[in-house]
Structure formats: C-alpha cells, structure tokens
Amino acid sequence: MAFAGTWNFVKAENMKNFILAAGGKPEVAEMGDNLTTTIVCAKDGDYFSVKITGPKGNTVEQRFKPGEPFEENVEFLGKKRQSVASIDGGKLTIKGVEAGTVVETREVNGDEMIMTLSKDGVDMVGKRYFKRA
C-alpha cells in the first residue's frame, strides 16, 4: 500500500478559504493553513486506518474497509457523517454518502502525499502537503 507509514505536514494551500466556503467553523478555518499534523496510515487485513494527530496530541482516526460505509468525525465542519472510501493505486478517496459533502483525496507520489479537499458547489479546493517520515 502506497500510503503505509508516517507522514509529516509540510505546507497547506487555500485551506482557510476552502473551510469557510465549505461551511466550516471560522475558528477552525483560522488554523487551516498552519495546523501541523502527523498522519499514520496502516492496513490490517481488509481494513485501513488513517490516524491524524494534531500539535496538542489530539487524534482522529478513520478506520474503514474500502467500499463499505463507516462513520467518521469531520473535525473542521464539527459533525459526524457516513462515508465511503475507495483506493485506486496511489489514490485514496473518502467521501460522504450524502450528496454535497466534502470529498478528501490523498495521492502519493514517491515520498510526498497531497491531500485535496473539494465540495460540490465550492469553486475552490484546499490542499495539504505531507512528506514521508
């Protein structure tokens, strides 16, 4: 799996503006471009996990089996949702099962992972860049 391992935050592009445009909390949007996080991706049998740890040690985990719905906490929107993940080569996509929700796509290219957030009806995307630890 191309995602396996630990990934450290490098930089962000347009996260604050995207979070606001997507309906996120203003106080979260203020941190959007500078929030340093570490991501640990792992595979256990048919299941995958993505653990995101913030600078204060708070952790959010997405645990899923591709193609099957799972519940996740969308931190910047301040709500939970049912989502479905798909993996295609070096690309992991997680999207809500309801129309109009945020889609997060992670793509791996060598030792770089780019997470792109998009949403129907929002004419911009937010990006976060990570380097393999």
User: For the whole model, what pTM was predicted?
Assistant: 0.90
* Token duo for residue 16: 């604050």
Please name the residue ranges forming H helices in 1-133: 15-21, 26-29
Please name the residue ranges forming H helices in 11-133: 15-21, 26-29
Question: What integer pLDDT is reported at residue 125 of this predicted model?
Answer: 97
In Å, how far are 14, 22, 44, 83, 113 from 128, measured between CA atoms?
A: 9, 16, 25, 20, 8
Residue 77, classed as helix, strand or coil, is: helix
Type of residue found at 93: T
pLDDT (tens place) for every residue of the chain, 133 residues total: 789 999 999 999 999 999 999 988 888 888 888 889 999 999 999 999 999 998 888 888 899 999 999 998 776 556 788 999 999 888 999 998 888 888 999 999 999 999 999 999 999 999 999 999 9
Closest CA to 54 of 76, 72, 26: 76
